[in-house]
Amino acid sequence: MDTIAVRTSQRSQFIEITRQVQDSISKSGIKDGLVCVFAPHTTAGITINENADPDVASDMIDILTQVVPERAGYRHREGNSDGHAKSSLISPSITVIVENGRLCLGTWQGIYFAEFDGPRQRQCWIKIIASEP
Amino acid sequence: MDTIAVRTSQRSQFIEITRQVQDSISKSGIKDGLVCVFAPHTTAGITINENADPDVASDMIDILTQVVPERAGYRHREGNSDGHAKSSLISPSITVIVENGRLCLGTWQGIYFAEFDGPRQRQCWIKIIASEP
Amino acid sequence: MDTIAVRTSQRSQFIEITRQVQDSISKSGIKDGLVCVFAPHTTAGITINENADPDVASDMIDILTQVVPERAGYRHREGNSDGHAKSSLISPSITVIVENGRLCLGTWQGIYFAEFDGPRQRQCWIKIIASEP
């Protein structure tokens, strides 16, 4: 697998990694298969959403903050239980189709590393499986 | 990969696509592996849930509308930020096991295209990977 | 695929299954690929989160109960529509990278069976795909 480094600068932040995932596919030489993009962290996730208007990502962060408030009263002492819950709601893993050596995404879709307890230095793992040997 | 067309008729709607995914597997001749079902849209998703009682899907739409209200005040000008958030919460991608040429689903499970900004003409992509060549 | 039995004892409960998934990989002899972990149930899911402090799982259950209240008024007669919604929000399927015969997880990550309508006797399905034959 490939590992990419992601440096986040805010507590909640969406950072687009589409280009890095495509680079990993191109480097692998695999033309046809599936790619799994994985965040090895318990307060982050991987998602796909619009990459045309940056207001979409900021609205989504606002919505997630309303759905799972960052508040006191959680048992977990580190005080980041909201980040753990957002990680499971968004999921740390996503699988995308690869054909002709290219990520298959819709017109407006980009792949995002979703930070829910930054700023931190993070990693993202990328694994490509060929559909034919 | 295979592409199926999905015509939605409401703003939020769950449309079952289990049969189309099974047809794609049967057509491929692959007996054993994984299938990735993917929505190439930023205000839709793919999910698995009960296909026996249609009240489950309508309750789930009501619940998602309560969790992420369709309201004014979002920055994104198109006014469908709730649909973008629901897409990431449900996920545009799901992976299901294939054995003996059949989708492996539980007794009550069906695969659904989840529309969050319809009515629209949508697509769903299906890719099957064999576990052995 | 392998099937593991999961006995839940509460209505909402996270039960760690990391060891069972690793055992299935070890038994398969596959060194490199992807593993799909799947819950064949419509009121349960599979997620990855922290396995060091058990307060994380209990906080996450509290958060999910706040996000999707267990209440009357749903159409679905069985009264477990909240469990169906949590199943789709968490997802019944997750895909994880396998290398050198090992599950690739971050330092604090464990794989969990997430029960949302227990106590019940449940199953979890595990399928491993090799990246090379």
| Tally of domains in chain A | 1
Question: Which chain A residues contact residue B68 at CB under 8 A?
Answer: 63, 67
Question: Which chain B residues contact residue A129 at CB under 8 A?
Answer: 129
Average pLDDT, chain B: 95
Mutation site, A12, A68, A86, A109, interface B, largest B CB count within 10 A:
A109
Give C 78-107 residues with CB within 8 A of chain B.
78, 81-82, 84-85, 87-89, 91-93, 95
Question: Which chain C residues contact residue B50 at CB under 8 A?
Answer: 42, 84
Give B 10-29 residues with CB within 8 A of chain C.
none
Q: Tell whether A68 lies on the interface with B, counting CB pairs under 8 A.
A: no
pLDDT exceeds 70 at position C133: no
Q: For C23-33, how does the pLDDT look when each residue is reduced to its tens digit (9 = 90+)?
A: 999 999 999 99
Q: Tell whether B75 lies on the interface with A, counting CB pairs under 8 A.
A: yes
Q: What is the pLDDT of residue B132?
A: 74
Q: What is the pLDDT of residue A15?
A: 97
pLDDT exceeds 80 at position B72: no
Q: Tell whether B4 lies on the interface with A, counting CB pairs under 8 A.
A: no
Query: What is the C-alpha to C-alpha distance for residues A61 and B9, in angstroms, rounded to an integer?
Result: 29
pLDDT exceeds 80 at position B133: no
State the pTM of this model. Answer: 0.97
Residue C109 contacts residue C49 (beta carbons within 8 Å)? yes
Of the candidates A21, A2, A3, the residue with the CA atom closest to the CA atom of residue A104: A21
Tokens of B112: 């659904």
Q: What is the pLDDT of residue A78?
A: 87
Q: For B2-44, how does the pLDDT look when each residue is reduced to its tens digit (9 = 90+)?
A: 999 999 999 999 999 999 999 999 999 999 999 999 999 999 9
Tokens of C37: 């972990």
pLDDT exceeds 90 at position A133: no
Give the one of B60, B67, B90 whose C-beta lies nearest to C67's C-beta.
B67
- Tell me phi and psi for residue A20, to 5 degrees: -65, -40
Q: Is the dihedral of CA C76, C78, C79, C81 positive or negative?
A: negative
Tokens of A40: 């090895």
Range C101-105 average pLDDT: 98
Q: Decide if A1 and C107 are in contact by the 8 Å CB cutoff.
A: no
Quick one: how far is CA B116 from the chain centroid? 11
Question: Which chain C residues contact residue B104 at CB under 8 A?
Answer: 1, 38, 40, 125, 127
Q: What is the pLDDT of residue C132?
A: 73
Q: Is the dihedral of CA C21, C93, A40, C116 positive or negative?
A: negative
Residue A126 contacts residue A53 (beta carbons within 8 Å)? no
Q: For A78-127, how does the pLDDT look when each residue is reduced to its tens digit (9 = 90+)?
A: 889 999 999 999 999 999 999 999 999 999 999 999 999 999 999 999 99
Residue C97 contacts residue A38 (beta carbons within 8 Å)? yes
Q: For C110-131, how does the pLDDT look when each residue is reduced to its tens digit (9 = 90+)?
A: 999 999 999 999 999 999 999 9
Q: Tell whether C38 lies on the interface with B, counting CB pairs under 8 A.
A: yes
Q: Tell whether C120 lies on the interface with B, counting CB pairs under 8 A.
A: no
Q: What is the pLDDT of residue A77?
A: 84
Tokens of A95: 């699988």
Domain of residue B76, CATH code: 2.60.120.460
Query: What is the C-alpha to C-alpha distance for residues B96 and B47, in angstroms, rounded to an integer?
Result: 11
Q: What is the pLDDT of residue B12?
A: 97
Round to the nearest angstrom and report the end-to-end CA distance of chain B.
17
Question: Which chain B residues contact residue C44 at CB under 8 A?
Answer: none
Asked whether this complex has an ipTM greater than 0.95, the answer is: yes
Q: What is the pLDDT of residue B73?
A: 80
Question: Which chain B residues contact residue A86 at CB under 8 A?
Answer: none
pLDDT exceeds 70 at position B83: yes
- What residue numbers bound the domain in which C28 lies? 2-130
Q: What is the pLDDT of residue C71?
A: 80
pLDDT exceeds 80 at position A72: no
Q: What is the 3-state secondary structure (H, E, C) of C34-72?
A: EEEEECCCCCEEEEEEECCCHHHHHHHHHHHHHHCCCCC
Q: For A25-64, how does the pLDDT look when each residue is reduced to its tens digit (9 = 90+)?
A: 999 999 999 999 999 999 999 999 999 999 999 999 999 9
